[in-house]
Chains A and B, each alone.
Chain A
């Protein structure tokens, strides 16, 4: 049986990819950001996940305004890094896991989540930056990846509650896949940031850390945070944090925190990172 063994939350700021690609990750600006990921890079080497369900948002790369899917799952064999206006990142192609991806897609649709299925697309920094942060610069990515793209750009975006429930359904889907696979789920994006208008540059350390707190343990309070609160408190792009709730929902009723990191700033953005594992509740014998 396949199992979700851990959840990872991480920002996916494009500048982090630039720092990796240009060898700047130890300088004064980026050093403190990358230091907070060292624990995770070591841990991932030990965990050796077979598959990562990588929840991210496309930033007008694979999808333009022609088609705006709310939830889309990549069922393809592989994905190339997107050209986002300055040429594609020089990182390995991302290998998919079509067997598990199609299984999840079918299960989710039967579970009343009407997913959009993607067979071919390019993946942008939203997906490749977290891979670089967690795995460094390998010749090939060591895990297969199932991209799960969420619309967090065109409103209304999905509610926190819907994202959490999708995570719960993903957990059920993974656990009904017969092959033994070590599966992680990553929620990416955030934390507080606003990239537009006169209010650009807004950051909210207190709110971000409250959000991180709410991912730990038994509380499910975070699923009820309304969009307007993200917008007011964390900037117009802070809404990306609803994607972390898909990750959290997929970890079941209770989590334990293994690692946590927060840093301000990276470009326009507050960097947040958390590693969680599910805590299996003891079932009461009938």
Chain B
């Protein structure tokens, strides 16, 4: 192993620390085991839409199709409303949820834009202009610290 040659060992030593860091990323839900468990039936429902006959049955009566699944009423409402941020909170994963917006005939980027604060034309333009900058988007803690520093500076002035 290269580790023996004195290279840094990148293995996380503590699973709790490893997972806790994920919650420090702004506007992001990392698809952890906890989310995978919570959203299992939402994701498996979405997966079922890969079959043309299921897509047809779903489109004919969305509510009746959803009622066949072990999904909470809140999640059913979020699915009917195509409220993807709420679905992410409920353990939905974007690759599974993409089966739903593909069934709707929505382009991937347009569906993604609905989770942001931008309209689809604004989002498309942001991407053409080079995408969202990582500056100020890396860490919630860093952002809070920066805001506190800015406030301090403001008081001094």
Contact = CB atoms under 8 A, between A and B. Distances in A.
Given A228-B21, A231-B30, A270 B131 contact: yes
Interface stretch (A89-97, A156-164, A180-188, A275-283): A156-164
A266 to B, nearest CB: 9
Interface centre among A159, A201, A228 (most CB of B within 10 A): A201
A154 B33 contact: yes
A61 interface: yes
Interface stretch (A44-52, A79-87, A99-107): A79-87
A197 B52 contact: no
B30 A236 contact: yes
Interface string B100-131: 10110101110011011110000100111011
B11 interface: yes
A227 B17 CA distance: 12
A265 B127 contact: yes
A202 B127 contact: no
Given A65-B36, A197-B115, A270-B131, A233 B30 contact: no
B57 interface: no
B127 A156 contact: no
B22 A228 contact: yes
A54 to B, nearest CB: 19
Interface in B64-120: 84-85, 88, 93-96, 98-100, 102-103, 105, 107-109, 112-113, 115-118
A224 B112 CA distance: 31
Contacts of A210: none
B131 A224 contact: no
B103 A85 contact: yes
B134 interface: yes
Given A153-B93, A203-B131, A226-B12, A60 B29 contact: no
Interface in A67-83: 82-83
Contacts of B21: 228
Contact of A161 (B11, B93, B117, B130): B11
Contacts of B25: 199, 231-232, 236
Contact of B88 (A85, A196, A233): A196
Contacts of B134: 202, 204, 207, 232-233
12 contacts: A64-B96, A82-B50, A84-B50, A87-B52, A155-B33, A161-B10, A192-B131, A195-B108, A197-B115, A204-B131, A224-B8, A232-B25
